[in-house]
Structure 1
Amino acid sequence: MDLLWQSPEPLAATEVRDALPGSPAITTVLTVLTRLEGKGFVTRERDRRPHLFGATLSRDDYMAELMHEVLTSAPDREAVLARFLGRASKTETDHLRKLLGS
């Protein structure tokens, strides 16, 4: 996913393979990309050859979704938020205050 997030354009599976350490088999890369597509993390442009793969969400959007998922599943959201903020740096809490407008 890091390669897809870093690329401004969708990538062919061979481009992904070539950028990975150890040059895994192309079938392995295609299997992983197809599974990520099935989970909704990756899109595939099928109207050309080779197919091009891109991330469906930016890294920031993905991370925000993970955070929202954790909060949604928590039985006590307030406790989770309190612990999260308790571990945040002063810079991070200042930034949160700015985003919240207070």
Structure 2
Amino acid sequence: MSETPETPPAPRRPAGELEAGVLAALWAAAGPLTPAEVQAALGGRLARTTVTTILTRLYGKGAVSRSRAGRGYAYAPVHDSAGLTARRMRSELDKEDDRGTALARFVSELTAEDERLLRALLDGADDTGDGTP
């Protein structure tokens, strides 16, 4: 008997790649999209069931909102890209028992430019505009 060579499995996508692609399609849209519209925006390379699963997971995470569209739903992003990044950072920080150490390590890894930007943002947040610090 001859053996057929096994086809190696396709390489796994990096974590979050599919969600990032779906969110990018939603951010580029003028309004809410159905799973079929998201699938089309992604070039049809994902099955509609996969797109629906990703959208459902994003909805569960609070990253997208949904509204009825016929028998299904249309989805829209809750945040822009920067807002989603901030939400993820906050979520990770909320998991830490020692927030001070986590923040100190985060700040220690910032570039000089990012540190200046963060300092300016924090200084601006201290100024409420009503004369109180």
Query: TM > 0.5 between the two?
Result: yes
Q: 2:102 aligns with which of 75, 80, 101?
A: 80
Matches within 5 A, 1:54-93: 54-93=76-115
Deviation at 1:20, TM superposition (A): 2.2
Distance across 2 between alignment mates of 1:14 and 1:42: 16
Alignment size in residue pairs: 102
Alignment pair present for 1:35 and 2:57: yes
Q: 1:35-78 CA distances to partner (integer Å, 9 max, x unpaired)?
A: 33233322222155774211122222222122222222222222
TM-score by length of 2: 0.62
Aligned to 1:13: 35
Q: 1:101 aligns with which of 95, 117, 123?
A: 123
Distance across 1 between alignment mates of 2:25 and 2:82: 14
Q: 2:45 aligns with which of 2, 8, 23?
A: 23
Counterpart amino acid of residue 41 in structure 2: A
Preserved CA contact (<8 Å) 2:33 2:74: yes
Preserved CA contact (<8 Å) 2:93 2:99: yes
Q: Any unmatched runs of 5+ in structure 1?
A: none
Aligned to 1:53: 75
RMSD, aligned α-carbons: 2.4
Preserved CA contact (<8 Å) 2:107 2:115: yes
Distance across 2 between alignment mates of 1:6 and 1:90: 32
Give percent identity, aligned residues only: 37
Distance across 2 between alignment mates of 1:91 and 1:72: 26
Distance across 2 between alignment mates of 1:31 and 1:85: 36
* Greater C-alpha radius of gyration: 2
Which protein has the bigger helix share?
A: 1
